[in-house]
Amino acid sequence: MIAKMEISGVHTTVDEDLQKYVQKKIGRMDRYMPTHARKSAHAEVKLKEAKIKAKKECTCEVILHLPHEVIATKETTMNMYAAVDIVETKLKNQLKKYKEKHTDKRLHRRVLSKLRSRNA
């Protein structure tokens, strides 16, 4: 779980169910981070609600502070839970790219070679 997470509501109140849902979905994003980034990861979740011409728009914005980079994702839908789900998927993809960019390729090769020598 991401240790530091700030969940705030703009023009809406964040009830306990929604807060637990966000913590469950966004808090698990540390699985997709490199191990060195997990300790200092910090997430800001902003949930916004607006009514435009009798149409309800729910926006979920997540700003993830990682070493050497800040990842931001935003989605607007008619349902807050759906917006959180879509943001989670977008964050997974961005974190996979971050992990490829910031992990040591030589270490990966060393681990694989040790595994191969044990199996042979």
Task: Indicate the pairing of strand 4-10 with strand 69-77.
Answer: unpaired
User: What's 40's domain CATH number?
Assistant: 3.30.160.100
What is the spatial distance between Cα 27 and Cα 49, in angstroms, rounded to a whole number? 22
Domain of residue 80 covers 4-119
User: What are 40-74's pLDDT values in tens digits?
Assistant: 999 999 999 999 888 999 999 999 999 989 999 99
Q: How far apart are CA 47 and CA 60, in angstroms?
A: 5
pLDDT at 21: 97
Across 5-9, 27-31, 48-52, 103-107, least confident range? 103-107
Q: Three-class SS of residue 12?
A: coil
Specify the pairing of strand 42-52 against strand 4-10. Answer: parallel
The phi and psi torsions of 54 (rounded to 5 degrees) equal: 60, 20
- Domains held by the chain: number: 1
Predicted TM-score of the model (pTM) = 0.83
- Taking alpha carbons only, the member of 32, 44, 54, 48 closest to residue 103 is 32
Check residue 3 and give its pLDDT: 86
Q: Using the predicted structure, report yes or no on whether residue 120 has a pLDDT greater than 70.
A: no
For all residues of the chain together, what is the average pLDDT? 91
